[in-house]
Each structure stands twice: as structure tokens, then as C-alpha cells.
Amino acid sequence: MASDLLSIAKSGARTARIALDVTAQNIANASSEGYVRRSVQMEEVAAAGGYGRIGDISLSGVRVDRVVRNADLFRQAEVRRTGADSARINAEVAGLENIETAVEQTGVFQSIVDFEASLQRLAADPVDPSLRASVMEEARTMTRTLNIASTSLDAVGNGLRFEAASDVEQVNLLGGELARVNLRLARAADASSDQTQLLDRRDLLLQQLSEHVDVSASINADHTVEVRIGGTAGPQLVSGGDSYPFAMATAGDGTISFTLDGAAVTPLSGSLVGRGQALEKLVQIGDDLDTIAADLIATVNGAQATGAALDGSAGQPMLSGTGAADIALAFNDGAGIATAPAGSPAGSRDPGNLDALRSALTASDPAGAMDALLFDISGTVAGRSLTRDAIDTIAGTARIALQAQAGVDLDEEAVNLIRFQQAFQASGRVMQVASDLFDTLLGIR
Amino acid sequence: MTIFSTSTSAFYERSRQDMAVLRKRAEATQEQLSRGERLSRSSQDPVAASRLRTLGRAERLTTIDMGNANRASSDLTLADAALSSFSDFIIRARELAVQAGSDTMSDAQRAGIGEELRQIHQNLVGLANARDSAGHALFGGIVSGDAYEFDGAGNAVYIGTASAGELSLGEGQSIVRGVTGPEFVEFDDAGTPTNIMAVVKTLADALGGGSPDPAQSARDALGSLTNALDSVTTTQTVVGSRLAWIDLTVERQTDLGELRKTEEAEIGGTDIAGTVVQLQEIMLVLEASQASFSRLSGMSLFNSLR
């Protein structure tokens, strides 16, 4: 008989201790981000019978086979994919909402309507200096709000590009970190606590990376990860111990594009893409606003040119500039408004040219164009918000699914604690029995 | 082995998400109530927001239109009053002409009447140069100065514009904003075009010694003065009907404004009763989920292990 009761008990006690340690570790990390629940896999230690020892019983107890890391690769990939989508749409909606605020809260629409209204009031008495002054003031408010809207749009663009630059920095940082983890993973012993910790780190880094840019990760046999951007056929960001530089370029109109290791790359999702999409919308809205401002300038100045000012002189351009950013009043005196047709004497009450200006404004309809612009951006925000809610729900579900499988359940750990404590106590009892047996044998007289 | 089909962190995450959604909805409802408006930004309902903008613009322009209508109305009322004074003066001139036409009058007395008529002539020209609410010539069309001035011979000559100009009342309606002098001053006197001021001045001159038979001249002028009175009265009727037209238009604008307000309230206003009920419902669900969360999270196996 090759079994040794004492050593079997010892192996049992030691294994129970390790299992208790792992349980304690699980409990301690119940809320650590990226921690994946461990469980201990045990294996019996027993010698197989050999030649001439067929009936022999050779038991040597138990040993820890490995510490299992309960991670599901598919659910992790899902969390990354849906997380990248969610980050993209959230970044886009945030950018679009800022654009909406920039053009709506500045009150451009209201100021254009007020300008129209002041012209309409002037029609009641075209030579009234106070009505003329009110037209000038409304025109000034209109040019100022257009300036403010344009400046706000620029600020939104700068903010988006700043955030995108910080995203790019993060991508490079996380890529470098992943490459280092890869190097250490290649050297780590299988199933060691060092390796499980590195795997946790690797998965957490991948998840963080996916918030900035879409990640296609393939895991190699040695647990190192290869990361590609822009789909599975895209260029590599991380391969083995190497990471490649990811960079952003800003075009003249403010839109952004990306390169990876010098070659152009088109990311599919992640917050970077969302910001890029918001920037594209920003360019379009900025152009539309400029068109409205340019139309206003052309319409008002065109009408001014066909009329006579209060002093009978030919009407001068009232607005200067070429777009929303630089539109301004060309003169400040209300007497310069050309209400009378060209050739009228000084002080003429003939509203002929004012009527022409008003009908030209009705025809070019800047207020209607502004309404269309606001509808465009708010409609886009509304549509994207719906998509965002749906994608957020999907991403949340994926995250919960992963946590449900990989996270720590405290009740389960409580049960394990009792179970392994009992196992430990039982092994101690076995030692007691072994000792008693020994004493019995020694006590034979 | 898993006791629940979930991990502790998944339970907390799910509860957090659910309660965050409820809380967000409750806050959105509360915001609607406290603002009294359903929309705080266009993207909440782009179509309704665009409609609200259009309604707001129409509202703004209508306010101006009504202001303009009030202005036209007060100018026309002033014109009406001036026309009444005009007819009073003409009636007085007619009385004087009747007196002067009587053969019992001496030439000296007629000359005195002529003096009063000359005064009436001055008053008529002064009235024709009356000012509107903005200080412009009431009967001068869209001229910048006076409507009438005296020529070398002391005759009043119209120097205003041919038409009074139109003023928009909104909704495509417009109104002729006033009456020009010639419209009522000049009239057709038995086939010959003449004007009231000229008739009065001619009579005054005749009575003052410009005529060999002043009594006959006075009797001749009677018919012309009657025609002049007719012309003024007719114009007064026109002014009255324009005032009525403005009233109609303003009434219509007010009705339309009310309709717009109703639509605005329907599109953009908060349905207080409905929203409060909704808020109550959300609060109930939120309270229930908070209570159940605190009970569930307080239920740990560790508490039972001794």
C-alpha cells in the first residue's frame, strides 16, 4: 500500500487553501473593472497500476490543475463591437447637438424675422427717423447673431477636432500598452496568475481601445493579440510586440481623416468616426449659413442700389461682407435706407423701393431658408438620437451579458467559501485520523 | 455552478441602467411642466418646432400689420374730422352767399361778407394742409411738405402727389392710406372742372368789389358751393367705408391670431393634466424599482452565514 494518509490530507488542505485564496480574490475584485472571475480546477493525484501491481491502490491526494479564467471570447468581442458603435453614435449626437445649439440658441431665425418686421413697420412711414433707426438696429442685431452663430459653429468644430486629437492620442497610448502586454504574454507561463492577470489587462485594453476606434482583434495561440483598424482586412495597429503610429489629418474645410503607419485608413466605428461625421455635418451647416448671409447681403444691397436715400442721393450698400462670419452694417445712419425709388427728391415718402426690398426679401426668403436649416440639423439630431438610444440599449445588453458570465457573483463565492472551508477542516480531520491510526499502531503491546 | 443567472456587477449595472432611464424620463417630464412648453430644443420634435417657428413669424408680422392698420385708421379718422370741418366751412360760405345774394344788402355789407369769405378761404387752405398722426400732410398723398401753397395771385395750388399710396394690412390685403386734396377739393361744376378754394376765393373777390353785380355773383356761387359740399360728403363716405374695411381686416387678423395661438398651444404647449399623470406613473415605477433594488441588494448570503 503506497498511499499515505497524512500526505493525502496535506494535499487536500493545501488545495482547499488555494481554492479559498482564489475565492477571496474573486470577492475582493467583485467590482474591479475588467476582472474576470477565476475558478480552481482540481485534479486527483493517483498512480496507475503497473506490472505486478495490478490490484495495488496508490492514492496521493489532490492537486490544483489550473486556475480557470471564465472569459467568453465571443461576448467580449460583442462588447467591443457594440461599444464602438455606441461610442461612435454618442460622439456624433453630442457634436450634432452642439451644432444645433450654435445655430438655434443664437436666435438667428428670430433676428431675421425681426428685421423683416422692422421693414414692414417702416412702410407705415418711410421718413420717420425712429422707424429708420429701428430698422438699422434690427439689421445690426441680425448681422451680430449671424456672426455669433458662425463663431459658435467654429468653436464646435474646434472642440470636435480637439476631442478627436485626444482620441488619436489614446489610440496610440493603448496600442503601445497592448504591444507591451503582448510581449509579456508571450513569456508568461500557462495558467499562471501572471498570465491570467495579463489576459485581464489585454481584454480591458481592447475594450478601452474599441471606445475610440473600431477594433478587429484576433487572438493567437500564445494569447497575444493582433489588432486591426477598419475591419478584419484593415491595416495592423498592434502585432506581437509592435504597435504602429495612428495619426489624424485636418483638411482645409475642417473635416478629419486618418492614417495608420503612413497609409490612409478608414475606421468603421468608435468615437473618432462619430466626431468625423459631426464635422462633416458642421461643414454643410456652416456653408448653408454662409449662403443665407450672402443671399441677405445680395438682396438688401441689390434693392438699396435701385433706390434713393432720405437725402435724395443714390442708395448705398447697407450690408458688407461675404458670409455669416463677416456680415456687418456698411453704414449706421438710418437716413441711408433707400426707401424711395431712384431719382426721388430728398425727404420723399414714396415707399416704392422699400416695397421692392420687401418683395425681394419675400422672394429670397432668408427666414424660410433659416427655418429649413434649423429643420435640417434638428431633424438629423432627432433621427440620430433614436439610433443612439437603440444602439445604447444593445451595447448595454452586451455589457451585462458579458458581466453576467464573467463577473463575480458574491452569493456563489459565499457558497464556495463555506465549501472550501469545510474541505479544509475535513482534511485536518483526516490528519487527526492518520495520527490516531499511528498512535494505535504504536500503542500495541 | 451559478446560483443566479447573473453576477453581482451585472445586477448592479442593470439596476443602474433601468433606474437611470426612469430618472431621465421623470426629469424630462418635470422640465416640460416647469417650462410650460413641450419642446426645449428643436430636435425633440423637428416638425413641430418648424411649425412653431412659422407661427411665431406670422405672429410677429401680424403684430406689425395691426400696428400699421391702427395707424391708417387714425389717419383716416383725422381725415374724416378734417372733412367735417371742410363741410362746416362750405355750409357757412353758402349761408354767407345767400345773405350776399339778397338785394337788401348794401355793397359795403357785401364787402364785409367778402372779408369773412376771404377768412374762410384761408381756413380752407389751412385745413387742406392739415397734418396726419406722423406730422405729414394729411391730403398731400406721399409728399414730404405741404399739400397746397399759394401762387402769385393768391390761389391755392396743389403740390402733393397724385395718389395717397397703399399700405399693406397683411394677408395680401392693402388699403389706400389716405385721401389726396384733389379727390374732394376739385369737383365738376356743371361741366367745368373747378375747386372749392377757387370758388370761395372768386366769390370773396367778387363781393370785395371785383364784380359789377356782386349780388348776382353771390347767387351764381350758390350752385357751385352746393356741388362742392356734395363732393366733400361723398369723399367722407369713401373714408368711412375705408375705416370699416380696416376694422374688418383687423378683426380677421385677430381671429387668425387666436387660431394661431390655439395651434401653438396644441403643438408646443404642455398638456398639464396628461403630463402630471405621466410623471406620477414614472415616479411610482421609479420608487418601486428603487425599493426593490434596495431590498435585493441588501439580500446577501454573507448575512446569513455565521
The closest alpha carbon to B226, from B196, B253, B265, B181, belongs to: B196
What is the rounded distance in angstroms from the CA atom of residue B253 to the CA atom of residue B193?
42
Of B14, B43, B68, the CB nearest to A382: B43
Q: In the numeric block, which cell numbers belong to residue A352?
A: 416704392
Q: In the numeric block, which cell numbers belong to residue A85?
A: 458603435
User: Mean pLDDT over residues B44-65, rounded?
Assistant: 90
Inspect the interface and report whether the beta carbons of B71 and A406 lie closer than 8 Å.
Answer: no
Out of A312-316, B22-26, B47-51, B155-159, least confident range: B155-159
pTM recorded for the entire structure: 0.82
Q: Which H or E run includes A199? A: helix A193-212
Q: In sequence order, which residues have a C-beta less than 8 Å from that of residue B165 and are 6 or more positions away?
A: A349, A350, A351, B141, B142, B176, B177, B178
Residue A51 amino acid letter: Y
Q: In sequence order, which residues have a C-beta less than 8 Å from that of residue A74 and are 6 or more positions away?
A: none
SS3 B192: strand
End-to-end CA distance of chain A: 24
Inspect the interface and report whether the beta carbons of A414 and B300 lie closer than 8 Å.
Answer: yes
Inspect the interface and report whether the beta carbons of B43 and A31 lie closer than 8 Å.
Answer: no
Contacts of A71 in chain B (CB under 8 A): none
What is the rounded distance in angstroms from the CA atom of residue B45 to the CA atom of residue B51?
10
- Judge contact between A36 and A22, C-beta under 8 A: no
Whether A33 contacts chain B with CB within 8 A: no
State the best of A411, A419, A421 to mutate against chain B, taking most chain B CBs within 10 Å: A411
Contacts of A411 in chain B (CB under 8 A): 3-4, 8, 300-301
Inspect the interface and report whether the beta carbons of A371 and B53 lie closer than 8 Å.
Answer: yes
What is the rounded distance in angstroms from the CA atom of residue B4 to the CA atom of residue B100?
122
> Looking at the predicted structure, is the pLDDT value of residue A1 above 80?
no
Q: Establish, for the pair of chains A and B, how many residue pairs have beta carbons separated by less than 8 Å.
A: 148
Q: In the numeric block, which cell numbers belong to residue A66?
A: 489550473
- Judge contact between B113 and B200, C-beta under 8 A: no
Contacts of B40 in chain A (CB under 8 A): none
To which residue does cell 345767400 refer? B98
What pLDDT digit, counting tens, does each position of A247-297 carry? Answer: 999 999 999 999 999 999 999 999 999 999 999 999 999 999 999 999 999
Inspect the interface and report whether the beta carbons of A124 and B49 lie closer than 8 Å.
Answer: no
DSSP codes, A143-198: HHHHHHHHHHHHHHHHHHHHHHHHHHHHHHHHHHHHHHHHHHHHHSPTT-HHHHHH
Of B10, B68, B302, the CB nearest to A124: B68
Between helix B196-205 and helix B214-268 the angle, nearest 10°, is 160
> Looking at the predicted structure, is the pLDDT value of residue A49 above 70?
no
Inspect the interface and report whether the beta carbons of A97 and B4 lie closer than 8 Å.
Answer: no
Q: What share of chain A is helix, strand, coil (3-state, %, to 5)?
A: 60, 15, 25
The closest alpha carbon to B28, from B282, B267, B269, belongs to: B282
User: Mean pLDDT over residues B145-164, rounded?
Assistant: 83
| Upper half-sphere CA count for residue A364 (Cβ side, 13 Å) | 20
In terms of CA atoms, which chain A residue is nearest residue B45? A382
Query: How many angstroms away from the CA of A359 is the closest CA of chain B?
Result: 12
Which pLDDT belongs to residue A191?
67
What is the rounded distance in angstroms from the CA atom of residue A275 to the CA atom of residue A98?
12
What pLDDT digit, counting tens, does each position of A408-443 carry? Answer: 888 889 999 999 999 999 999 999 998 898 888 888
Q: Phi and psi for B178 in degrees, rounded to 5? A: -165, -165
Share of chain B above pLDDT 90, in %: 24
Whether A68 contacts chain B with CB within 8 A: no
Inspect the interface and report whether the beta carbons of B49 and A378 lie closer than 8 Å.
Answer: yes
- Mean residue pLDDT across chain A: 90
User: Mean pLDDT over residues B37-52, rounded?
Assistant: 88
Q: In the numeric block, which cell numbers belong to residue B109?
A: 355789407
> Looking at the predicted structure, is the pLDDT value of residue B2 above 60?
no
Of B1, B64, B67, the CB nearest to A412: B1
Query: How many angstroms away from the CA of A243 is the closest CA of chain B?
Result: 33
- Judge contact between A205 and A181, C-beta under 8 A: yes
Inspect the interface and report whether the beta carbons of A407 and B136 lie closer than 8 Å.
Answer: no
To which residue does cell 461612435 refer? A88
Contacts of B61 in chain A (CB under 8 A): 113, 116-117, 120
The closest alpha carbon to A69, from A34, A28, A45, A44, belongs to: A34
Query: How many angstroms away from the CA of B87 is the closest CA of chain A?
Result: 29
Q: In sequence order, which residues have a C-beta less than 8 Å from that of residue A376 and are 6 or more positions away?
A: A285, A288
**Torsion angle, CA of B92/B93/B96/B101, rounded to 10 degrees?**
-140
SS3 A372: helix
Inspect the interface and report whether the beta carbons of A405 and B60 lie closer than 8 Å.
Answer: no
**Torsion angle, CA of A93/A99/A100/A105, rounded to 10 degrees?**
140
Q: Phi and psi for A432 in degrees, rounded to 5? A: -60, -45
ipTM: 0.80
Read off the DSSP letter of residue A268.
-
Query: How many angstroms away from the CA of A247 is the closest CA of chain B?
Result: 34
| Upper half-sphere CA count for residue B168 (Cβ side, 13 Å) | 20
What pLDDT digit, counting tens, does each position of A201-234 carry? Answer: 999 999 999 999 999 999 888 889 999 998 888 8
> Looking at the predicted structure, is the pLDDT value of residue B5 above 60?
no
The closest alpha carbon to B228, from B75, B118, B121, B112, belongs to: B121
- Judge contact between A149 and A111, C-beta under 8 A: no
Q: In the numeric block, which cell numbers belong to residue B149?
A: 401753397
Of B12, B41, B57, the CB nearest to A104: B41
Q: How big is chain B, counted in residues?
A: 306
Share of chain B above pLDDT 70, in %: 98
Which pLDDT belongs to residue B272?
87
